[in-house]
Amino acid sequence: MLRISTIALALALAVPASAQTIKLGAVLPLTGPAAVIGMQEQRGIQFAVDEVNAKGGVAGHKIEMLFEDNQAKPDQSVLLFNKLVDLQKVPAVFTGYSGPSLAMAPLAGRKKTLLVNGGAQADALDKASPYLINTIPVLAGELEVLANYLVADAGKKTAAILFENNAAGIAGRDDFLASFEKAGGKVLAQEPVPFGDTNYRPALLKLAATSPDVVFVVITSGTPQLADQVRQIDAKFTVVGSTFFSDPELIANPNAEGFTHTQVLINAPEGMAAAFKAKYGTEFDFFPKQYYNAATVVMTCVEKLLKDGKPVTGENLLAALKEIKTFKGLTTTVFNTNTAATQINMNRINGKQDNLLKVIAPK
Amino acid sequence: MDFLTTYIVLAEIYVLLGLSTNLLVGIVGIFSVSQAAVFGVGAYLTAFLLMHTALPFPVAVLLAAAFCVGLNILVTLPSLRVSGDYFVVTSFGIQLLATAVFTNWTGGTGGANGLPGVPAPLILGHEFTEPTEFIALTTIGMALGCLCFWLMMRAPFGALLRAIREDELAVAALGKSVLGAKVSAAALAGAFAGSAGGLYATFLSFVDPSSFDLDASIFLLTMVVVGGARTLAGSVLGPFVLLALPQILALIDIPTSIAAAARQLIYGLLLIVFMLFRPQGLLGEKL
Amino acid sequence: MLWLNLLINGLVWGCALGMVAVSFSLIFATTRFFHVAHAAVYGLGGYVSWSALKHGLPEWAALLVGIVVCGLAGAAIQKLLYERLDRRGATHLVILIASLGLSAVMQNGIAAIYTSNVLQYGLPWGNRTTIIGGALLTNTQMLTVVFGILSYLGAMWFAHRTVLGKRMRAVASNPFLAEITRLQPRQVHIAVMAIGSALVCIPGVLVPLDLGLQPFGGVPILLTATIAVIAGGVGSISGAFVLALVIAVLQNLSLLVMPGEWSIGITFGIFVIFMLFRPRGLFTG
């Protein structure tokens, strides 16, 4: 006890009295079935914040992250959002998953608190609240690129859709359906799988029976199992997907040979991925990278406010974000609206490598 | 203090649900694990009526409650034919069926995306948006629910229900209508759950299937058992304690990477210890 | 030949489900407790075997370690938790809540130690395929069928041919009589929990070998297995196993006529209606 308080005292003395700690909040699913993604998001944010704090903080201010566990439930999200804003006076709250984000969005507007979504891609998030910022593009833009590539460049005319039966999966299905048919292709069939279920066989068998050129897959986890099961049915179709395919475990799976996908460009500098793995024992995957990027965006806004001598409030953060507009985090993130535009790549997995086919610049 | 008022509003809504569950499980002895499904129908119906018709808030909630009266009678009817453990599992089938409908009936429920933008209650030209205003509605709702429950328990009807739980055959032999009593109790429980749903949907302005799944039904049972089955005080205390518990556990300092899981683990331990040493709950009669 | 593929796929999945159902049936028929923590024991088996494998044990030894740990865990749960609750006259509702608490402890303990990520055993032989009856099956799936049938036969032999099994059925059919005739129901309960828990380790390893390990992966499979146990008729091992096969096949074949989002809902809908007409299950008099 004495030792802890001595350390605390030493820490307190080390920081100049004027440089107060800045508290930021996050409401994510950290337990229960949705924690598989929520925990990754948490690690991404914490990794970015630790890195900044190790370098002395943002303009001399340390950042403190306050994580709350909503188990992906909307009522808990609202309660915890109020807790962070009321008791801790945080100016910004990170969120993930579409349901909880939509439940907190009206509150963010009323409380003038920045709500930062770095992972959910449902279209409804785009205009849910002026205070909801999406640091990842909604799926529609990405899937338009994919559909155009498939029909125009690769000559694929027919598709079937395998989607996760949640907000992310349904958004993916609807957007792909619209874009693919607009590009001149035809969607033959669609099948859902429950979230968290990695048994895709019945759905795959049914889709394969329609003999499509491609099967578009939108699932957020369990992609290595998907690759194994596709190989097992000796599929004739090409598997295509979105940015969720940029999973190191999938890329390393020999059964993922030929999988083609769009990717919201996000690259970690050399050494960062290794440092992340050394710290947490898990890969620096898509979700930690996205939340690292989201944290970088928010901390850049905080830095600007501190340098301008303005108070760090949600309202000021939003204004700073609109003013800075272009952020250089793990990728160039541009805010023309509340939703970021970033570069999108077309990739194909070959020989356990994710190879670049084509680059599409942000609109 | 929106945090505190939000907590009270949610707890008051759960008190209505606790009364509904307690009435069926504790008082009549119908072991239902599908109360969250009825709650969900109330929430979705209120949301749908407010978003697609010009009905005022009180009418929408009353309609939703009335519909849930019918629905709850329907889902508890199997208890007349299927008894004991078999009914638990039947009820559990009903819950899973309801979740499937909430998740997949995109036209009515918005499917897995849920329904965002449910309008706030508008009563006599005043909009109840902030938790500090909304608390008036939930407090009135809870008070009415408690009053009904209290009056019912004091009336001969309450004694009849308790007698049915103890010995259904004896009650029937005395010439009392077991069916009538069970149906009335189910109706009242349905009204509680339905109106709780209406308040929940308008308070959050968002509904999605995750609030009304099997976990939610089991949470309602846990509230009743921890608070104390069969008593009014237990139904009121249970939700307040169980909703506060995660916030109290959050005060324990644990390294970030396992904090959330460790707190859930402690929650589980508390439940076990509590069941071992106080199975009748905080303010309940012995089960 | 979509229907044939779906049928075979359903039968394979039914064997996995059947093992969980048979193990739960043994426990539920004897104790009548809603042992929902069975899903956590299923998870425990998978994770313990995964660790044993990562520590260099051969596959069969890793599975054996899992089976032993699960068996011990089952006996401990009965002795330390359910028996105490039962002695204090706890109702089934109270035991259910305690069992839920235990699930929360075990599953979150697993999540804290192993993270919530989907883990893989990383055994390439598991994914190799052979053509059987016009469908391609992986080695894991074939093992599932073999173990499924062996588990069913083993459980039948245990219940009808061994002394302990006969005591178990006596306790299940009349606990009061068992008490006064010195069948020692409490000991029987512990033995049955140990056997049921050891048995559930087999699907607990085989299913994740195929589909990946998740801390909460046991919950959906136990839910469906419970339905099979009740609809099959409590106490009937054959009922539980056959109904598990029927449910899995129905869920697969239903894809021929309707979109997959409704297959689970329809299965439970059919179950509810079925219970109204046969309130004591299929395989009971």
Partners of residue B206 on adjacent β-strands: B116
Quick check: C108 contacting A, CB < 8 Å? yes
CB-nearest to C6 from A33, A202, A231 is A202
For C119, phi then psi, to 5°, come to: -95, 150
pLDDT band at residue B13 under the 50/70/90 scheme: very high
Convert the pLDDT of each residue in C76-102 to its tens digit. Answer: 999 999 999 999 888 888 899 999 999
DSSP calls for A209-246? TT--SEEEEE-SS-HHHHHHHHHHTT--SEEEE-GGG-
Task: Tell me if domain A19-137+268-334 and domain A139-263+344-360 are identical in fold.
Answer: yes
Mean pLDDT of B185-206: 96
pLDDT computed for residue B71 by the predictor: 96
Give all strands (DSSP E) within A13-150, no chain letters.
22-28, 63-69, 92-95, 114-117, 132-134
pLDDT computed for residue A244 by the predictor: 87
pLDDT computed for residue B287 by the predictor: 52
The rounded mean pLDDT for chain B is 91
Put simply, the answer to whether A221 touches C138 (Cβ < 8 Å) is no
Quick check: A343 contacting C, CB < 8 Å? no
Convert the pLDDT of each residue in A110-152 to its tens digit. Answer: 999 999 999 888 888 888 899 999 998 888 888 999 999 999 9
CB-nearest to B256 from A32, A46, A110 is A46
pLDDT by residue for chain A (363 residues), tens only, comes to 444 444 444 444 444 444 689 999 999 999 888 888 899 999 999 999 999 999 999 999 999 999 999 999 999 999 999 999 999 999 999 999 889 999 999 999 999 999 999 988 888 888 889 999 999 888 888 899 999 999 999 999 999 999 998 888 888 999 999 999 999 999 999 999 988 889 999 999 999 999 999 999 999 888 999 999 998 888 889 999 998 898 888 999 999 999 999 988 777 887 898 999 999 888 888 899 999 999 999 999 999 999 999 999 999 999 999 999 999 888 888 898 999 888 888 999 999 988 999 888 776
Q: Is 80 exceeded by the pLDDT of residue B103?
A: yes
CB-nearest to B89 from C96, C101, C230 is C230
pLDDT band at residue B283 under the 50/70/90 scheme: confident
Q: Is 70 exceeded by the pLDDT of residue B286?
A: no
pLDDT computed for residue B92 by the predictor: 85
Contacting residues of C for B221, CB less than 8 Å apart: 93, 96-97
Quick check: A324 contacting C, CB < 8 Å? no
For B240-255, b/e burial (b = at least 16 CB within 10 A) is bebbebbeebbeeeee
Which CATH code for domain A19-137+268-334?
3.40.50.2300
Q: Which amino acid, residue B110? A: G
CA distance C252 to chain A (A): 6
Question: Chain C neighbours among A 183-222 (CB < 8 Å)?
Answer: 190-194, 196-199, 201-203, 205-206, 209, 221-222
Contacting residues of B for A35, CB less than 8 Å apart: 260-261
pLDDT computed for residue A17 by the predictor: 42
Mean pLDDT of B93-108: 91
* Domains identified in chain C and CATH numbers: 2-277 (1.10.3470)
pLDDT band at residue C198 under the 50/70/90 scheme: very high
Convert the pLDDT of each residue in B108-148 to its tens digit. Answer: 898 888 999 999 999 888 889 899 999 999 999 999 999 99
CB C36 within 8 A of CB C222: yes
pLDDT computed for residue A84 by the predictor: 95
Give the nearest chain A residue to B200 (CA atoms).
A75
Quick check: A122 contacting B, CB < 8 Å? yes
**Predicted ipTM?**
0.91
CB A32 within 8 A of CB A23: no
Contacting residues of A for B250, CB less than 8 Å apart: 68
Quick check: B267 contacting A, CB < 8 Å? no
For A327, phi then psi, to 5°, come to: -115, 140
Convert the pLDDT of each residue in C217-274 to its tens digit. Answer: 999 899 999 989 988 988 899 999 999 999 999 999 999 988 888 888 888 888 888 8
pLDDT computed for residue B8 by the predictor: 96
**Cα dihedral A337, A340, A344, A349 sign:** negative
pLDDT computed for residue A16 by the predictor: 45
pLDDT computed for residue A363 by the predictor: 62
Query: Which residues fall within 8 angstroms of residue A329, CB to CB, at 6 or more apart?
Result: A292, A293, A296, A297, A300
Contacting residues of A for C259, CB less than 8 Å apart: 190-192
Contacting residues of B for C261, CB less than 8 Å apart: 100, 103-104
CB C218 within 8 A of CB C47: no
Quick check: C278 contacting B, CB < 8 Å? no
Q: Could you tell me which residue, C191 or B85, shows the higher pLDDT?
A: C191
Convert the pLDDT of each residue in C20-73 to its tens digit. Answer: 999 999 999 999 888 999 999 999 999 999 999 999 999 999 999 999 999 999
Contacting residues of A for B210, CB less than 8 Å apart: 72-74, 99
3-state class (DSSP) for residue A156: coil
Question: Chain A neighbours among B 87-116 (CB < 8 Å)?
Answer: 103-104, 106, 111-114, 116
pLDDT computed for residue C131 by the predictor: 84
Separation CA B187–CA B195 (nearest Å):
12
Give the nearest chain A residue to C134 (CA atoms).
A233
Q: Count CA atoms closer than 13 A to A115's CA, side-chain side.
A: 34
Quick check: A228 contacting C, CB < 8 Å? yes
The rounded mean pLDDT for chain C is 91
Convert the pLDDT of each residue in C147-196 to its tens digit. Answer: 999 999 999 999 999 999 988 888 888 777 777 777 788 899 999 999 99
pLDDT computed for residue C170 by the predictor: 87
**Boundaries of every domain in chain A:** 19-137+268-334, 139-263+344-360
Mean pLDDT of B8-22: 96
Separation CA B90–CA C167 (nearest Å):
29
Put simply, the answer to whether B275 touches C97 (Cβ < 8 Å) is yes
CB-nearest to B225 from C85, C93, C104 is C93
Separation CA B54–CA C24 (nearest Å):
51
CB-nearest to B81 from C94, C230, C276 is C276
Put simply, the answer to whether C260 touches A203 (Cβ < 8 Å) is yes
- Domain A139-263+344-360 class, CATH top level: alpha beta
pTM metric for this prediction? 0.91
Separation CA C153–CA C134 (nearest Å):
27
CB-nearest to A201 from C9, C108, C129 is C9
pLDDT computed for residue C263 by the predictor: 83
pLDDT computed for residue B232 by the predictor: 93
CB A215 within 8 A of CB C19: no
CB B197 within 8 A of CB B33: no
Measured in whole angstroms, how far is the alpha carbon of residue A251 from the centre of its chain?
Answer: 19
Task: List chains adjacent to chain A, taking adjacency as at least 3 C-beta pairs closer than 8 Å.
Answer: B, C
Size of interface B-C (CB pairs under 8 A): 129
Put simply, the answer to whether B211 touches A74 (Cβ < 8 Å) is yes
pLDDT band at residue C285 under the 50/70/90 scheme: very low
pLDDT > 70: what percent of chain B? 99
